Structure 1
């Protein structure tokens, strides 16, 4: 397996994904769990964030400390990626937010871009792409291509559940991309949904199923 593919073995991630899968999980609980799993996965994804030395004045003196040395940009693939922002903004409230609207054509299963709104991307910005379901991989591939075309050089991807096909496609298109996943399922059905998956993450999060 590509060394840039990281599949979580954290007991809390596995437990919370099990509850996300359960069709009896309420909308409110689903939203909360999605935010919590995203936060746990982000812990690993941000381990390589760069820091700089700073000097901080405490109530009783000065301390040599470290602080983030670059922008972090959380980029949600609409609409399901919005559900991952809650936990991550709590982790990094100073982060900038970006949105990329891509939907999958139900007949061709190809990605269709309809919206892009990005903050200024600096050369050393750390851009984190968020999409809970990495199914065919088409939307994620397109999103990373958009970000690279806008100058992003330091990008990673966080997803909750992936299909093997989506992982292969994303890592083949962007072999330099670190990919952080909660778990990987066996296959896709004829409609491009992950099996067993958890259904449509966007519908379950917004209560539109």
Structure 2
């Protein structure tokens, strides 16, 4: 597993505003969208491409095009939905799948409750998007989910990560596949209930409000 921390002044600025408890949901959503677009630029450095011949107004030249089959972007529901527009803005040809995971607040384990993914992901580049890499349980489950379906090239895009979560992903995934994690910042630690500190709170609630279930 490779870790890339996208250290850039604009990224640090946007993360600071996201952390502010007084930042309202509409502004929070806009900032997440902008931040993910910046992260997507880093995350897609190794996207598969092919040569393509095009005619300019003056001559014929050879350029670059996204290879087939196209990448697939998989937001981890529900908070990952807030990152989807930022990813598809840079990868409009990508397909989109969905994976619903939620955390058991007692065990901190991830539980799958929904999925909309192809049964066969052989040869596909997969981009998993989830704002927070906290305990790592949800991300590991998502990675395992796509690896079992044949994916061998997986990039995880997160806003914040805790050292404990990074270590957990590294331990569980190891070098079995080409897995990368791209994050805006790595925070200090997890607290006793598995939240990232200093963090930004519950990303889903701050994006969409609190929903009682």
Q: Is the contact between residue 97 and residue 119 of structure 1 (CA under 8 Å) also seen in structure 2?
A: no
Q: Is the contact between residue 55 and residue 63 of structure 1 (CA under 8 Å) also seen in structure 2?
A: yes
For 1:116 and 1:36, the matched residues in 2 are separated by 26
Aligned pair 1:204/2:206, yes or no? yes
Aligned to 1:181: 183
Q: Is the contact between residue 51 and residue 63 of structure 2 (CA under 8 Å) also seen in structure 1?
A: yes
TM-score, scaled to structure 1: 0.94
Aligned to 1:79: 78
Q: Could you report, residue by residue, the CA deviation over 1:103-158 in whole angstroms, capped at 9, with x for unpaired residues?
A: 01011111111111114654332100101000000000000000011111111111
For 2:48 and 2:92, the matched residues in 1 are separated by 17
Q: Is the contact between residue 156 and residue 180 of structure 2 (CA under 8 Å) also seen in structure 1?
A: yes
Question: Structure 1 stretches of 5 or more lacking a match?
Answer: none
Aligned residues: 207
Aligned to 2:192: 190
Q: Considering only aligned residues, what root-mean-square deviation do their CA atoms show, in Å?
A: 1.4
Aligned to 2:62: 64
TM-score, scaled to structure 2: 0.92
Q: Is the contact between residue 74 and residue 127 of structure 2 (CA under 8 Å) also seen in structure 1?
A: yes
Question: Structure 2 stretches of 5 or more lacking a match?
Answer: none
Indicate how the Cα distance of structure 1 residues 122 and 113 shifts in structure 2: closer, same or farther if over 3 A, else same.
Answer: closer
